[in-house]
A and B are shown apart, each in its own frame.
Chain A
Amino acid sequence: MASEYALEMRGITKVFGSVVANEDVNFKVRRGEVHALVGENGAGKSTLMKILFGLYQPDAGEVFLNGKRVVVRDPSDAIKLNIGMVHQHFMLVPSFTVAQNMILGVEPTKGVKLDLAEAEERIRELSNACGFTIDPKARIRDCPVGVQQRVEIMKALYRGADLLILDEPTSVLTPDEAEELFEIMRTLTRQGKTIIFITHKLREVMATAQHVTVLRKGRTVTTVSIDETCEEDLALHMVGRKVELYSGKDSVKPGEAIVKVDNLWAADQYGRWRLRDIGFQVRAGEIVGIAGVAGNGQDELVDVLMGLKKPSRGRIQIDGQDVTGKTSNVVRSLGVGYIPEDRYERSMIRDASVAENMLLGFEHDERFNGFGLKLDTIRKWADELVHEFDVQPPLLDIPARSLSGGNAQRAVMAREFALSKRVIIACQPSHGLDIGSIDFVHKQLLDRRRKGYAIILISSDLEEMLYLADTIAVMYKGEIISSFPNRDVDEKRMGLLMAGVRDAEPEEEAR
């Protein structure tokens, strides 16, 4: 054999506009192993895998398969090179049978007719070899999620894949289903297949992988053997080490509780609990940080708080008013500013002008309505905001999509800070920004804190969390498993909590 490595990616760099998604990434996978690829959202995992699968072309770097240099131009090249990918969002046709999904694109035919019988036979053989049975005639939409995933894996095997990429395969599975998946993964590696396992669930990494590579901010942090690491180490590699100490802030004496959340439960569209018994309070002049590895219920918590998703149980009070299950305009009319993670899904309209974007949420404001909208007043006001927050270029008539990430974020903050009276919810506010903008965002948040705002900060960046938050609550699987004042934290404890290991000592009361 040419090389002990089934895959080597060397010096991979990929830049999108001003954002560096991958920077000199090196990634080596041994043949016949499960190799975990971990990192936060936006760390560059999926860019790297899309390069491998031919969906993106790298700006620099080389890919070697079994020691031979290859160029993957598109997914069909990847399939020809025996690379298979199981996407996080299944690529299945719901109304088709298992067999029909399997053969799509490589249909066996007898004359002009599809030869489904042959396909079904091969599917039985394949599934037996993997150690499970599957009915080739079952319709995908009737299959449980776990079975659908097996179909995805088999699709890759059907096309002769030797190297399998599993993109966050367990995010949709129940624990039992996940356990079965791991068994299948072991069976496959015994048969000589190589598996790249993308995840941010560290327990699963420890349970299945032989090696693990951690990416952070587009770079390789480390590749280690599983025997030489532990969950806490990995968690810290993922989120970065604490560099700045709790000192840069003025001390502000928190006031009364403004946001009160009690016993909050919410389920996702599949009916699984995403929030379990969430309870916390945020006081005036306090920043409460919700920490945790992404996907542990933070998004759902924000949606429920902002009135974009109805909770199943529990109570939310803002400024003394019950807003449980109220719509977003009710919540916003109470003066809740919202800086979302996904700007163009939640707060900026690409094809509307900057001025129009600044008006979102203000269109019924008395100041701006007389006989129709007072455009001059609005422009003057928008212009002030744009200058106050130093949005570059400071133009009102350009479409929002032409602003850079940092400037779009400044514009969002300008508007939301203007809108908010006492509460701000900020989600990954510095995600994808340059250093200068991050600094600006932090200063603004601290400024509002000083002015007595109640601020909820959701961030997977540990540095940011430790720098800004007064109180930190750690979410794991939809629960707040611990909350404590910032000064009480140390890296090790944080790592353990984020990996879901509860404190041994009695938990501090969530205020």
Chain B
Amino acid sequence: MTQQDNVWRRIAAGIGRPLLAIALALLIGLVIISIAGEDPIESYRALIGGAFVGRSNIENTLVRSIPVIASGLAVAVAFACGMFNMGVEGQLYLGAFAAAWIGFSIKGVPPLLHVLLAIGLSAAVGAAWAYLPAIARIKWGTSEIVTTMMLNYVAQYFTSYLVSFPFKEPGDLQQTPAIFSSAELYELSAASRLHLGLLLVVVFAVIIAFLLKRTALGYEIRMTGLSPSVSRASGISTDRTAIRAMLISGAIGGIAGAIEILGVHHRFINNFSPGYGWDGLAVSLLAKGNPIGILLSGIFYGGLQSGANIMEFATDVPKQLIDSLRAIIILFVAADFTGLKLLRAKPKLPRGGGKSGCKEVKTCGRSV
């Protein structure tokens, strides 16, 4: 429910803080690089250039960002309902394996159908994996934060077993046989392996945005997240809504894994994820759960990753510095500095009649 004249102000309010956090983090990075005796300007030029300048760099960035965006969307749906899905990483692994299994074990399926089958099963597996923590939380009040997190390890070890023993391709590597080409996602660029998954995550972002903002279910999910007690009194079945949100979240988590397998690796490889699920959490936080914002912050995140490689290559600054800066960004975005006197003393910005900010405010249901 957006008024046209408010759109730009809202966008400004929504990205102002993350931008500030990013600027602060880069400033801290600048100091660290200088102390390490390197040239910060040169390093940053390499970082940003490596992320967003030139076709192959941009493509690399996009490839990196695809699974992060999908994971971010998964986190966002649960978060909108006041739940933490810390288990995206596990859902991603299981979904990835399910997709790979469909891909290498069924032969002679028409291409589109093959991909749909793989994605469908991965969504089902991801949702099933999220169902147990969801039920435990709703029925018995078990913290979904801890259960989803613990189940990540179970999922990771389980897929690791599958790929090391029953479905291991002969040879030294812990990987499954390659999927049939009918299950591969269309490759947009051979050099960078940029694939159709990019389009898919954009479509998913739009679908999730539509779901949350323009459907009755999405409305109920958001209202339940904002105030369970009012929602219940208003006739929303909050338990069922919360479980649905977790199921959707888990399904997207599974799909995130499927896209990475069908698009990039074309087989399941043991421990293939460098923490996409966790990056998704960060990206979702940066975008405050806004699906379109997740697209942007996901690309930014992917850019940091691929740019860091270029920076390391061009200068002597190790790429891990960028991981530290990402952490600092998250800290600053998560913090509420309004309690600081220094900031409070600043003159308040003039407020127009249509004070925005309502949509930006996300309470997270509880302090844990």
Contact = CB atoms under 8 A, between A and B. Distances in A.
Given A397-B356, A399-B361, A350 B227 contact: yes
Contact of B215 (A329, A355, A360, A373): A373
Contacts of B353: 393, 395
B355 A347 contact: no
A322 interface: no
B230 A346 contact: yes
Interface string B244-271: 0000000000000000000000000000
A255 B357 CA distance: 48
Contacts of B320: none
Interface string A320-334: 000000011101110
Contacts of A402: 355
Contact of A332 (B219, B220, B234, B362): B234
A129 interface: no
Nearest to A399: B358
A379 B216 CA distance: 15
Given A352-B223, A353-B1, A398 B234 contact: no
B226 A351 contact: yes
A181 interface: no
B235 interface: yes
A132 interface: no
A402 B353 CA distance: 12
A329 B235 contact: yes
B6 A397 contact: yes
B216 A373 contact: yes
A356 B230 contact: no
A338 B3 CA distance: 30
A178 interface: no
A90 interface: no
Contact of A328 (B232, B354, B355, B356): B232
Interface in B321-368: 353-359, 361-363
Contact of B358 (A340, A344, A353, A363): A353
A140 interface: no
A347 B215 contact: no
B216 A369 contact: yes
A375 interface: yes
Interface string A344-381: 11111111110110011101100001001101001100
Contact of A348 (B210, B230, B232): B230
Given A360-B223, A397-B3, A347 B214 contact: no
Contacts of A351: 226-227, 358, 361-363
A375 B230 contact: no
A352 B3 CA distance: 15
Contact of B216 (A333, A349, A364): A364
A338 B216 CA distance: 21
A328 B233 CA distance: 6
B105 interface: no
Interface in A295-337: 306, 308, 327-329, 331-333
Interface residues of B, number: 33
Output the residue of B227, B229, B363 with the most chain A CB within 10 A: B227
A344 B233 contact: no
Nearest to B355: A398
Contact of B1 (A344, A361, A364, A397): A397
Contacts of A359: 219
Given A352-B358, A397-B358, A332 B235 contact: yes
A372 B219 contact: no
B34 interface: no
B2 to A, nearest CB: 8
A333 B354 CA distance: 33
A396 interface: yes
Output the residue of A349, A356, A361 with the most chain B CB within 10 A: A349
Given A351-B226, A402-B355, A396 B232 contact: no
A345 B234 CA distance: 11
Contacts of B6: 397
Contacts of B210: 372
Contacts of B355: 398, 402
Contact of B229 (A346, A396, A398): A346
A346 B233 contact: yes
A352 B235 contact: no
B236 interface: yes
Contact of B234 (A360, A378, A396): A360
A344 B230 contact: yes
A353 B237 contact: no
Output the residue of B1, B215, B231, B353 with the most chain A CB within 10 A: B1
Contacts of B227: 344, 349-352
Contacts of A353: 1, 358-359
Nearest to A382: B1
A329 B236 contact: yes
A397 B354 contact: yes
Interface in A435-484: none
A153 B229 CA distance: 33
A327 B3 contact: no
B219 A356 contact: yes
Contacts of A378: 1
B1 A375 contact: yes
A361 B234 contact: yes
Nearest to A372: B214
Interface string A375-406: 10011000000000000010111110010000
A199 to B, nearest CB: 28
Contact of A308 (B215, B233, B358): B233
Interface in A102-132: none
Nearest to B358: A399
A343 B354 CA distance: 23
B214 A308 contact: no
Nearest to A306: B233
Nearest to A402: B355
Output the residue of A344, A396, A397, A399 with the most chain B CB within 10 A: A397
By Cβ-Cβ distance, the 4 closest A-B pairs, closest first, are A329-B235, A372-B214, A399-B358, A360-B234
Interface of A: 306, 308, 327-329, 331-333, 338, 340, 344-353, 355-356, 359-361, 363-364, 369, 372-373, 375, 378-379, 393, 395-399, 402
8 contacts: A332-B235, A346-B229, A348-B230, A352-B222, A352-B227, A353-B359, A356-B1, A398-B355
Given A329-B236, A347-B233, A356-B219, 11 more contacts: A328-B233, A329-B235, A346-B229, A349-B230, A352-B226, A353-B358, A360-B230, A363-B219, A395-B354, A396-B1, A398-B355
